[in-house]
A and B are shown apart, each in its own frame.
Chain A
Amino acid sequence: MLPTELLQEGEHLMTVCNACRYCEGYCAVWQTMESRLVFVESDLNYLANLCHNCGECFYSCQYSPPHEFNINPPKTLAKIRLYTYGLYAWPGPLAKAFCKNGLLVSLLAAAVLIAFLLAASLALGSRLWEPVRGGDFYQIIPHSVMALTFSVVGSFSALALLIGFLRFWRDSGESYSTLANPVALFRAAKDVLSLKNLDNDGAGCSYPREKSSEALRWFHHATFYGFLSCLVATTLGAIYYYVFGWHGPPGFLSLPVIFGTVGGIGLVIGPIGLFVLLRRRNREIVDENQSGMDLAFIVLLLLISISGLLLLLLRQSAAMGTLLVVHLGFVMTLFLTMPYGKFVHGIYRSGALLKWALERSRQSENKAKA
């Protein structure tokens, strides 16, 4: 259950906006809202995840504070969104991670780093600080250890994310069977990959401040595609290792390294841009309870990309061992916190966009019938 105050705030928002509807030309939230007359809690949860937090509607609202109706869609929806992250989290008790998330992620990162470094120096002794011939990572950490730890943690996180997604899906009133709708999946994928809802026909959106710009969209693209590119690099690396049996470190012009480098650069530019925007945001529409979480995620991504790129550059040097352990420490922290941090926004927003795509096809079906 949403806390009463937040539920009331959400209902007030829906009542005023639904009687007004001036924002219907903006994002998916508004068209979705118009197809409903009453709003139950699960509708609010769905709408909250559909909102991309772009800010446009706040600045154009004639009822935004100091007006007595006090309408602030991005902030209200952000608060509800944070609550849904806890609601869908699995296993349930870990939902607590969403309060003071920033602190938690930082502490965890520190703990993982210390543990990794301790373990590595215990196992390797002074070899940790000596250059390794050919920059071979596996001389520092055996491949089996790396593969085992990361696949165990990674699988757990993937499972947690999947369960969270399914919980969201059920809460939004859908059944599992509606998931397999190719048209809707295609439309949703397009919305996710293009961030269409932040675009407003090319004008961009009011983030970080009132004046519309495409900055958020481009920096998010850099981050997202950078992340994806790194994922591809890792997968290719695994294929090289297991399928082709190439066990040495891949060369500078090999596909994994190219993808990793391009992705790494995206993951430097994107998060730095997002960080700058984050600092410049209009505080009036920010749910401060999430600032720590937002920041922790961006900084973690940045630390991963920087340590990764350094590792690539300095892999022949004596720093390689430490850099590798540090880099892996950050990646491990990301893996561990994915289901319990900012990362989940992508999961639930994609789910919301999928549901929206489904609703649109149903509406046009109904119209065709009528």
Chain B
Amino acid sequence: MTDDLSGIDVLVVGGGNAAMAAALSAREVGASVLVLESAPKDFRAGNSRHTRDLRCMHDAPTNVMAGAYTEDEFYKDIQSVTGGQTNEQLARMTIRASATCTEWMKRQGVRFQRALGGTLQLGRTNAFFLGGGKAMMNAYYDQAERVGIRVVYNAEVVDLKVEDGKFESATAMVAGKPVEVRAKVVVAASGGFEANLDWLKEAWGPEADNFLIRGTPYNKGKVLKKLLENGVESVGEAKQGHMVAIDARAPKFDGGIVTRLDCVSLGIVVNRNGDRFYDEGEDFWPKRYAIWGRLVANQPEQIGYCIIDSKAMGKFMPSVFPPDTAQNIGELAKILKLPVEKVVATVKAYNDAVQLGTFNHDVLDDCKTSGLDPEKTHWALRIDKPPFYAYGLRPGLTFTYLGLKVDEHARAQMKGGKGARNIFAAGEIMVGNILGKGYTAGIGVTIGTVFGRIAGREAASQALHPVETRKDTKVEEFVHAAD
């Protein structure tokens, strides 16, 4: 078995979008490629199987995106969500390279929805996969089979031998047995550490016990940890990541998109003690979505309860779980096991503070409260029309940002500033280079695709033309040469 797996040019660790983009790109230029995926086939492709779209720059409408989305606008969006905690050079490089992503993906067999389909509001900035991320990943895997990339499932990499910035071999558990795999170059595309509950606890403290992991249970960060231990420079903070508020009844892992909840703006949110704690009407969906996970994570027992009345029903994307419901607020509080009098008082205080306005969910309207702490600044309507409904909210962790520092060639950087000899990284495992915090929809797949493609090409060229004789491709050249 050992001999069987060793001796390839490029070892790709992971089986998601970044990994497969790297594998296919390395194969495109002629390298032999082995993919080790820790999940079984049915659950292959990590968080990528849960995605729906990627964010791409384009100067004119394409057949999968409307309008235009320029480099500067895209960069401004990244700056705004990260509060400036980004690396401008890498971010701009990613943005420019994003322009060729959909065409490259199509060549691998990925299908997209036509521009302006259905209920999508992101139709200008994002391209949507026909059938979603699992369909996209199925296409990648089919292509991998066609071009002769070997994929081994149930193969978790548990150790890496690195000497002085040079990768020697990886140890994978294949069918329960350790197997040493040698390769000329390695691409680490094994995701963040969001599914590693111990590591999360180390970073967050005991609160982490109440986090729900929205995606794959296989991203345990083992490769990330080994590489950091072996002298690769880290980037980002362990507590940073993409965290949203999701239905409290979601499964611990892999609940995916259907557990998201977006009724916060239509009602109020109270904590375990029956108190409100944040302006529910502060901003629109993407921004709101991105902050409420953290807000709930900071409340006692990491839980919140969104309370709405029947006016709100039908105005938000339905959740997969039915809400709790009652004819009056007291009863609802009782069902939720919250302090009844407190909740009734909170709702009454809120209702009394609501100022009359013209409700419009599509703009920052003038329906607000006055004299509350905290205020609700938009979309504030009285909660007075029974039946009343409530959803429990928990922090739902999408993925973590602490990762490997890389350069524009996707090459991992060692502590002390030198590039690793033959280690590349792509996807969540290096996303912290661009996202210091915050998130903007679709950028996870964009970063994975862009860096996956670069990592694959660079890894292949290094394996095929050993480092001494090789000239690094200039990045700008590569980005354009690719398509």
Contacts and interface: CB of A to CB of B under 8 A. Distances in A.
A127 interface: no
> Chain A, interface size: which category?
20 to 34
Contacts of B49: 62
Interface in A2-59: 15-16, 18-26, 31, 34, 37, 56-57, 59
Nearest to B314: A37
Contact of B320 (A15, A23, A56, A201): A15
B50 interface: yes
Interface string A57-72: 1011111001111000
Interface string B98-126: 00000000000001011001110000000
A24 B119 CA distance: 9
Contacts of A62: 49-50, 132-134, 256
A309 to B, nearest CB: 40
B138 A25 contact: no
Interface residues of B, number: 32
A210 interface: yes
B131 A20 contact: no
A87 B453 CA distance: 54
Contacts of B52: 22
Contacts of B118: 21, 24-25, 31, 34
A34 B119 CA distance: 8
A61 B129 CA distance: 12
B317 A19 contact: yes
Nearest to B142: A211
A262 B119 CA distance: 45
A7 to B, nearest CB: 15
Given A16-B258, A59-B138, A210-B138, A25 B251 contact: no
B356 interface: no
Contact of A19 (B42, B43, B135, B319): B319
A349 B142 CA distance: 32
A34 B142 CA distance: 30
Contacts of A203: 111
Nearest to B53: A22
Interface in A163-204: 200-201, 203
B318 A15 contact: yes
B194 interface: no
A22 B132 CA distance: 5
B128 A25 contact: yes
Nearest to A212: B111
Contact of B318 (A18, A57, A210): A18
Contacts of B258: 16, 19-20, 63, 69
Interface in B303-349: 314, 317-320
A140 B314 CA distance: 68
B113 A25 contact: yes
Contacts of B42: 66
Contacts of B257: 19-20, 22
A26 B132 contact: no
A67 B317 CA distance: 22
B318 A68 contact: no
A60 B112 CA distance: 13
Interface string B241-256: 0000000000100101
Contact of B113 (A20, A24, A57): A24
Nearest to A65: B42
Nearest to A26: B131
B130 interface: yes
A110 to B, nearest CB: 44
Nearest to B251: A68
Contacts of A22: 52, 129, 131-133, 135, 257
Contacts of B142: 211
A144 B317 CA distance: 64
Contacts of B318: 15, 18-19, 37
B135 to A, nearest CB: 3
Nearest to A57: B131
A63 to B, nearest CB: 7
A364 B184 CA distance: 59
A60 B134 contact: yes
Nearest to B247: A19
Contacts of A66: 42-43
Interface string B7-33: 000000000000000000000000000
Among A15, A21, A26, chain B packs the most CB atoms within 10 A around the CB of: A21
A187 B314 CA distance: 30
Nearest to B119: A34
A203 to B, nearest CB: 7
Nearest to B321: A15
A128 B128 CA distance: 67
A200 B251 CA distance: 33
A96 to B, nearest CB: 36
Contacts of B134: 59-62
Nearest to B117: A25
Nearest to B52: A22
Given A16-B320, A23-B132, A59-B135, A67 B119 contact: no
Interface of A: 15-16, 18-26, 31, 34, 37, 56-57, 59-63, 66-69, 200-201, 203, 210-211
Interface of B: 42-43, 49-50, 52, 111, 113-114, 117-119, 128-135, 138, 142, 251, 254, 256-258, 260, 314, 317-320
Given A18-B318, A66-B42, 5 more contacts: A21-B119, A22-B257, A23-B131, A61-B132, A69-B258
- 4 closest A-B pairs by beta carbon, nearest first, are A22-B132, A60-B131, A60-B135, A19-B258
